[in-house]
Structure 1
Amino acid sequence: MSIEAATSPFRLPLIAILRGIHAHEASAHVRALVEEGYDAIEIPLNSPDWADSIGTAAREAGPDLWIGGGTVLRQHDVEVLHGLGARFIVTPNTNPAVIRHAVQLGLQVVAGFATPTEAFAALDAGAQMLKLFPASTYGTQHVRALRAVLPAVPLFVVGGVTPLTLADFLSAGSAGAGIGGELYKPGQTVERTRQGARAFKQAYLESMP
């Protein structure tokens, strides 16, 4: 990478986002992702029966697997996720009360932001990682400018990132990416998820020096 980016706690810094997945489908898709080398999997809370999906995934997860909840807006949801065995949360904003509560419970927080002001607010609240959304709108120059002022924390790009654009975001200073609609759409087959995961992983490996 041309700009130093902080190392994420995930072995493969690609957060697989299964937005809209149903509880009876979750195990098979999570298993396919793990088989492809993914160790960070997010199920957003605007998915149907999200507690069942996350609880099942967390129970089946090995010690090296990170299962998390996304689109977390309330402190109560943080408590539910903690009880289910989730290890991290992803927020769409920088609500300091939600961030602090998650950190107090021992969860890692990937806080959503767009501007330097929001990023520093999230970090002041205790967030350990940041999520720029939507990355495709802001672009790589925005990431490069942010990296010049932000401390060495992992910055993930989310929203519109593809296997073809991933390398440019990594070169600009992102630690990795969250991949949602480009990886998984509700109702798709497990094989489709596997193929998408493989394409993103290959793009990431090819971008490494």
Structure 2
Amino acid sequence: MNKEEMIVRLLQAKIIPVLRKVSPAVFMDVVDALSAGGVTAVEITMDSEDASSLIRNVKERYGEKMAVGAGTVMDHADLSEALKAGAEFIVSPILDESVVKGANAEQVPVIPGVLSPTEVVQAIRSGADMVKIFPAGTLGPAYVKNIKGPLGDIPIMCTGGIDAENAADYLKAGAKIVGAGSSLIRKDLIAEQDWSGLTKEVEKWFLQLNHL
């Protein structure tokens, strides 16, 4: 799958669960539960235990059925490790131009974190394929709508403070994708190994988006 096709996959996914520091012992159970609920792309953060192996394991199990990205890519070292593991897209909470350029060189979609309009434009001019408004929950959907006024052609992902109740509001405001962390990857369900409960949680999120 080439870069352009992967970007289309991500845009179609709408919700990208952010898997941060999930125990390797239950990691694949979590991914299986997410997949059963309709998830087609996941972000595995590089600060997770043995992140490279987790990326490889998901790719081996799901192939092209699941887009597997690396998150919390802070520098070129993180990027290199993620790409060696087979990450198919790169997400960062910050704008590090070495990460953007390195991902571009490998023809892998890259989504750096930004907040201000100046950072949004700087990221795109640096070669980013999309920008991640982070932390989106600090300013809310109205901020995204205002950003989209003068910068309507720039694709936006929103992460940070997204939950089942407001995810649709961010998409209505102009975001193309929402990244969902602990509000979707619920620690209580994982602790109980309630995989059907996690699947139902995912389905609840998608139900909120059905009318969009």
Query: One fold, TM greater than 0.5?
Result: yes
Partner deviation per Cα, 1:122-179 (whole Å, 9 max, x = no partner): 1112111111111111112210111112252321111111221122212211112000
Structure 1 vs Structure 2 CA RMSD = 1.7
| Contact 1:22 1:50 survives alignment (8 Å) | no
- Does residue 202 of the first structure (1) align with residue 207 of the second (2)? yes
| Contact 2:113 2:132 survives alignment (8 Å) | yes
| Contact 1:88 1:107 survives alignment (8 Å) | yes
The unaligned stretches of length 5 or more in structure 1 are 1-6
CA distance in 1, matches of 2:65, 2:53: 21
The unaligned stretches of length 5 or more in structure 2 are 1-6
**Counterpart residue number, 2:19:** 18
SS at match of 1:62: helix
Partner deviation per Cα, 1:171-206 (whole Å, 9 max, x = no partner): 211112000010114543333432221111111113
How far 1:84 sits from its partner (Å)?
A: 1.3
How high is the sequence identity, in percent, across the aligned residues? 27
Q: Which is worse superposed, 40-49 or 188-197?
A: 188-197
SS at match of 2:138: helix
* Dislocated runs of 4+, deviation >6 Å: none
CA distance in 1, matches of 2:160, 2:136: 5
CA distance in 1, matches of 2:208, 2:122: 32
- Does residue 191 of the first structure (1) align with residue 196 of the second (2)? yes
CA distance in 2, matches of 1:16, 1:80: 21
Amino acid at match of 2:74: L
Q: 1:137 to 1:8 in 2, by over 3 A?
A: farther
Higher relative contact order (CA 8 A, sep 6+): 1
CA distance in 2, matches of 1:175, 1:155: 6
Q: Which is worse superposed, 192-201 or 120-129?
A: 192-201
**Counterpart residue number, 2:95:** 94
Write out aligned runs for 1:144-155 (5 A): 144-155=145-156
TM-score, length basis structure 1: 0.89
| Contact 2:69 2:89 survives alignment (8 Å) | yes
Aligned residues: 201
| Contact 2:37 2:200 survives alignment (8 Å) | no
TM-score, length basis structure 2: 0.88
**Counterpart residue number, 1:126:** 127
Amino acid at match of 1:71: T
**Counterpart residue number, 2:41:** 40
| Contact 2:44 2:70 survives alignment (8 Å) | yes
Higher helix share goes to which structure? 2
